[in-house]
Amino acid sequence: MDSERRLFRDLGRAISSHALIADGDRILVAMSGGKDSYGLLVLLRDLQRRAPVRFELVAVHLDQGHPGYDGAPLERWLAAEGVAHHILREDTYSIVTEKIPEGKTYCSLCSRLRRGVLYAAADRLGCNKIALGHHRDDALETLLLNLFFSGKLAAMPPRLVSDDGRHIVIRPLIFCGEADLAELARRRGFPILPCNLCGSQTEAHRKQMKSLIAELEARHPTVRASMLAALQNVVPSHLMDPALATRPEPGAALGEAVLPASELARFLRPA
């Protein structure tokens, strides 16, 4: 199967298994100008043409005031493709550089500010959902980051209601592989905006998780698929969170072989 068909299949799987899109939705598509955001928009537009439900897409790009920023290639592309779009300008760069001490990574505050701007834009533009371009490999790296460095088991949900209950954030690409999105970007020649204008390096730990997964994959080719399956196959009774403790279902196969009492008695009977 070629990468484009696989992307479309994975997009469809995420949307149907997590009820991401419904009839009448008006979806704000967050366009960072990176390859994943272009892929998200292109795939959703393709779906829009084929799906039995009617939904609207509004592309939104935020100029965050980075020195040297030039969003013109993205604006030209959106106009040429005939995509309804809005370009917002908010100088979050100044806030981030003022608040974060030198040498620390900006990304956490930067993305929280960006999310706030997008939520407000969704309200103004009458959008009930916000689509983000995070893909499978973002979710797997986040899972490992949380596991190794934050002491929690968490990744990225395909669908999340915001804290105030007013917005639904959806991640339609959450089953899509990054390599397929990169291939799509190459084939379609998306005019990608550079993402290093903020001077912030991609988080070092995230890079390490990316390499770790790639190393594992070289020895175990199905490791990404297995990790993704694990995120959809959680066994709370076999974790240690007291808030999740449940009694296992009788006869549930949970991977801990226990001898039936009769067998045990036979083994333990004195010779």
Cβ closest to ligand SF4, residue 48 vs residue 105: 105
Q: Using CB under 6 A, which of the segments 2-10, 161-169, 194-202, 209-217 binds ligand SF4?
A: 194-202
Would you put residue 208 in left (φ > 0), alpha (ψ -120 to 50) or beta? alpha
Q: Which of 17, 94, 111, 150 binds ligand SF4 (CB under 6 A)?
A: 111
In 101-253, alpha helices (H):
107-124, 136-145, 178-188, 204-219, 223-231
Cβ closest to ligand SF4, residue 111 vs residue 232: 111
Total number of residues that touch ligand SF4 (CB under 6 A):
7
Cβ closest to ligand SF4, residue 109 vs residue 179: 109
Q: By CB under 6 A, tell whether 19 contacts ligand SF4.
A: no
Q: How far is the CB of 99 from ligand SF4 (least distance, A)?
A: 12
Classified as helix, coil or strand, 201 is: coil
Cβ closest to ligand SF4, residue 54 vs residue 99: 99
Q: Which of 3, 128, 146, 200 binds ligand SF4 (CB under 6 A)?
A: 200
Torsion from C-alpha of 128, 156, 101, 65, nearest 10 degrees:
-40
Q: By CB under 6 A, tell whether 112 contacts ligand SF4.
A: no
Q: By CB under 6 A, tell whether 118 contacts ligand SF4.
A: no
**DSSP class per residue in 67-110:** TT---HHHHHHHHHHT--EEEEE--HHHHHHHHSPTTS--HHHH
Q: By CB under 6 A, tell whether 107 contacts ligand SF4.
A: yes
Q: Using CB under 6 A, which of the segments 103-111, 124-132, 139-147, 180-188 binds ligand SF4?
A: 103-111
The pair of structure tokens assigned to 150 is 């934050």
Q: Residue 60: enclosing H or E segment and its boundaries?
A: strand 56-63
Asked if 173 contacts 40 with a C-beta cutoff of 8 angstroms, the reply is: yes
Cβ closest to ligand SF4, residue 54 vs residue 104: 104
The pair of structure tokens assigned to 62 is 């935020």
Cβ closest to ligand SF4, residue 24 vs residue 194: 194
Q: How far is the CB of 178 from ligand SF4 (least distance, A)?
A: 16
Q: Which of 27, 131, 139, 198 binds ligand SF4 (CB under 6 A)?
A: 198
Q: By CB under 6 A, tell whether 16 contacts ligand SF4.
A: no
The span from the CA of 127 to the CA of 123, in Å, is 6
> Residue 40 contacts by C-beta under 8 Å, 6 or more apart in sequence?
29, 131, 132, 133, 172, 173
Binding site for ligand SF4 (CB under 6 A): 106-107, 110-111, 195, 198, 200
